[in-house]
């Protein structure tokens, strides 16, 4: 009876407090509203720390502009003169755009009649001299240059001798106060020419702006245990010249006397490299800090830094690519002011296919060379404005709207199949004098491949010359600040 009386008392109190009914007295109060969800980054966009894991940082405002060069363009090189003309060099055609990629023209003329294959291009960032070099057969390289934005060209051959010359590369940088820099100089910049000789690397230095290469020779026994294969030449403002050989342990060879003598340094033993792989690349900033970029054994993109111009390198590697990008190849990089660096690479986020049969029928581990037929590789760009910090932050954007390649990408010309050699060996990235990033790449998935619902590897065998450049976003030179889109 007491229990029933207590309920009656409660009902009376509720009726006195609220004439609207009993709901607030006989059941729990409604739960508070859920807090709003944290905003998430769109697909293909990542902000990560030095381990490739996400960090709570605001994404840099990065937008990119696409340009179709209109020609085939595997193994492209890119450079920009102070006039704003972009040079895209691949196969036999030095293509030029002086209207921010709206239109392109072939600047070839009669002086390049002997240019044949395996080209490489370079724009000197100080003198604006544009270089266009090609193999002429297997023993000779035809070296062309232009001082008027490709309107006219001059050229000379360089006889490399037997057995062959391959992986030809050219670069330029300041003269030093020792070595070849002590010789009589006929051009304000040292020009370097390196190539693979099957057993070693040959590197030469030109005193006359690349017309002739009188000094230099074979680099034997220094990081050449893979037959002398190597990547691009990079020079620092203090005159140090870097060359990354393609060897099992990430290694850099460098010279501080304009190529007279070379030394080697190793790094990256904590992450290694895959087999097979393509070359990495070195970037140097305005204070001659160096950043070596390569693909690690887990298929991520890694970096080691040197703050003493190549003498010593960090032995704990920093992951640049997000862990979501499980397959990467063709890494290329440039730097501006200290810590301000951009890296591009081809990569895939198809994590669901890990372990599925690869092109050889073995479980796939992310290696682009063996990728299964349902893997999509896209073009990525990673920026950092504090790459020298103990805990650098990396801002990554999947730039290409559709895949660059479906299925595998051949990384070893002796082990290619099903036409997957279409992209050849490398892409390229450079910055102009404002610190704006330009990327040259060969697009393997064009036309119907880019729009169909389920493209297959056989649909992805193009090699279309293509460019992305930074439309708006931070310059790699701090003093420039934010770059706006071209009008």
DSSP run (H or E) holding 266: strand 263-266
Structure tokens at 453: 């619902």
Cis peptide before 276 (omega within 30 of 0): yes
Lowest mean pLDDT among 50-59, 138-147, 428-437: 138-147
Residue scoring higher pLDDT (220 or 431): 431
- 325: exposed, middle or buried (C-beta count within 10 Å: 0-12, 13-18, 19+)? buried
**Predicted local distance difference test score (pLDDT) of residue 118:** 81
**Predicted local distance difference test score (pLDDT) of residue 13:** 38
Q: Could you say which DSSP state residue 36 is in?
A: P
Residue 414's nearest CA partner among 398, 404, 425 is 425
Share above pLDDT 70 across residues of the chain, in percent, rounded to a whole number:
90
**Predicted local distance difference test score (pLDDT) of residue 208:** 95
**Predicted local distance difference test score (pLDDT) of residue 111:** 53
Residue 176's nearest CA partner among 251, 244, 261 is 261
- pTM value surpassing 0.85: yes
**Predicted local distance difference test score (pLDDT) of residue 376:** 97
Q: What is the per-residue pLDDT across 172-220, written as a single tens digit (0 to 9) for each?
A: 999 999 999 888 888 999 999 999 888 899 999 999 999 999 899 999 8
Query: Quick check: 54 pLDDT over 70?
Result: yes
Query: Quick check: 116 pLDDT over 70?
Result: no
**Predicted local distance difference test score (pLDDT) of residue 224:** 85
* Strands of 324-427, DSSP E: 327-335, 341-348, 376-384, 394-398, 405-406
Q: What is the per-residue pLDDT across 237-270, written as a single tens digit (0 to 9) for each?
A: 999 999 999 999 999 999 999 999 999 999 999 9
What is d(CA 392, CA 375) in angstroms, rounded to the nearest whole number? 30
pLDDT band for 397, please (50, 70, 90 cuts).
very high
Q: Is the dihedral of CA 160, 81, 237, 90 positive or negative?
A: negative
What does the DSSP assignment read for 224-242?
Answer: -TTTT-B---EE-TTS-EE
The owner of tokens 């111009």 is 309
What is d(CA 405, CA 450) in angstroms, rounded to the nearest whole number? 10
Kindly report the length of the chain: 487
pLDDT band for 426, please (50, 70, 90 cuts).
very high
Query: Quick check: 356 pLDDT over 80?
Result: yes
Query: Quick check: 2 pLDDT over 60?
Result: no
DSSP run (H or E) holding 9: helix 2-17
**Predicted local distance difference test score (pLDDT) of residue 108:** 86
**Predicted local distance difference test score (pLDDT) of residue 131:** 96
Query: Quick check: 38 pLDDT over 50?
Result: no
**Predicted local distance difference test score (pLDDT) of residue 34:** 56
Q: What is the per-residue pLDDT across 445-476, written as a single tens digit (0 to 9) for each?
A: 999 999 999 999 999 999 999 999 999 999 99
What is d(CA 201, CA 198) in angstroms, rounded to the nearest whole number? 8
**Predicted local distance difference test score (pLDDT) of residue 357:** 96
**Predicted local distance difference test score (pLDDT) of residue 136:** 77
**Predicted local distance difference test score (pLDDT) of residue 302:** 98
Query: Quick check: 416 pLDDT over 70?
Result: yes
**Predicted local distance difference test score (pLDDT) of residue 167:** 87
What is d(CA 312, CA 265) in angstroms, rounded to the nearest whole number? 7
Q: What is the per-residue pLDDT across 102-114, written as a single tens digit (0 to 9) for each?
A: 999 999 875 555 5
CA distances from 279 to 274, 293, 418, 421 (A): 11, 9, 23, 16
User: Average pLDDT in the 228-237 region?
Assistant: 95
- 307: exposed, middle or buried (C-beta count within 10 Å: 0-12, 13-18, 19+)? middle
DSSP run (H or E) holding 23: helix 23-26
Cis peptide before 152 (omega within 30 of 0): no
**Predicted local distance difference test score (pLDDT) of residue 29:** 62
Buried residues in 161-193 as b, exposed as e (16+ CB within 10 A) = eeeebbbbbbbbbbbbeebbbeeeeebebbbbb
**Predicted local distance difference test score (pLDDT) of residue 14:** 38
**Predicted local distance difference test score (pLDDT) of residue 4:** 39
Residue 445's nearest CA partner among 411, 414, 419 is 419
Which residues are CB-neighbours of 439 under 8 A, at least 6 positions away?
Answer: 78, 332, 344, 379, 381, 399, 427, 428, 429, 467, 468, 469
Query: Quick check: 164 pLDDT over 70?
Result: yes
């Amino acid at each position: 009876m007491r229990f029933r009386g207590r309920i009656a008392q409660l009902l009376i109190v509720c009726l006195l407090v609220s004439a609207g009914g009993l709901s607030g007295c006989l059941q729990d109060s409604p739960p508070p509203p859920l807090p709003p969800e944290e905003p998430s980054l769109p697909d293909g966009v990542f902000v990560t720390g030095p381990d490739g894991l996400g960090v709570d940082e605001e994404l840099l405002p990065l937008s990119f502009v696409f340009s179709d060069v209109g020609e085939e363009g595997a193994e492209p090189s890119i450079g920009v003169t102070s006039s704003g003309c972009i040079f895209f060099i691949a196969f036999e055609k030095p293509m030029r755009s002086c209207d921010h990629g709206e239109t392109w023209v072939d600047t070839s003329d009669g002086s390049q009649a002997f240019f044949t294959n395996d080209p490489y291009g370079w724009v000197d960032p100080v003198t604006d001299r544009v270089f266009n070099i090609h193999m002429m057969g297997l023993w000779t390289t035809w070296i062309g240059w232009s001082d008027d934005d490709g309107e006219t060209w001059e050229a000379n051959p360089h006889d490399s001798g037997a057995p062959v010359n391959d992986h030809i590369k050219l670069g330029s940088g300041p003269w030093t106060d020792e070595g070849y820099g002590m010789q009589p100089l006929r051009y304000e910049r040292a020009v370097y020419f390196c190539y693979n000789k099957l057993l070693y690397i040959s590197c030469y230095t030109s005193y006359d702006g690349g017309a002739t290469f009188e000094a230099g020779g074979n680099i034997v026994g220094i990081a050449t245990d893979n037959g002398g294969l190597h990547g691009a030449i990079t020079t620092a403002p203090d005159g140090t010249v870097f060359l990354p050989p393609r060897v099992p342990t990430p290694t850099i060879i460098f010279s501080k006397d304009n190529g007279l003598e070379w030394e080697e340094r190793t790094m990256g033993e904590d992450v290694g490299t895959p087999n097979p792989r393509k070359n990495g690349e070195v970037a140097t900033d305005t204070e001659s800090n160096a950043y070596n970029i390569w693909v690690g054994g887990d298929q991520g993109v890694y970096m080691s830094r040197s703050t003493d111009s190549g003498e010593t390198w960090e032995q704990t590697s920093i992951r640049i690519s997000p862990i979501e990008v499980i397959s990467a190849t063709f890494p290329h990089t440039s730097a501006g002011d200290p810590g301000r660096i951009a890296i591009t690479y081809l990569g895939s986020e198809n994590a669901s296919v890990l372990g599925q049969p690869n092109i050889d029928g073995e479980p796939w581990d992310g290696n682009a060379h063996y990728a299964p037929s349902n893997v999509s590789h896209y073009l990525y760009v990673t920026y950092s404005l504090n790459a020298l910090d103990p805990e650098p932050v990396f801002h990554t954007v999947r730039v290409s709207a559709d895949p660059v390649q479906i299925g595998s990408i051949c990384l070893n010309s002796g082990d290619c199949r099903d036409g997957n050699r279409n992209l050849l060996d490398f892409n390229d990235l450079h910055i102009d004098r404002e610190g704006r990033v330009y990327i040259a790449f060969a697009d393997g998935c064009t036309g119907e491949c880019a729009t169909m619902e389920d493209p297959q590897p056989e649909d992805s065998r193009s090699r279309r010359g293509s460019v992305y450049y930074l439309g708006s976003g931070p310059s790699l030179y701090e003093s420039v600040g934010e770059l706006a889109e071209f009008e």
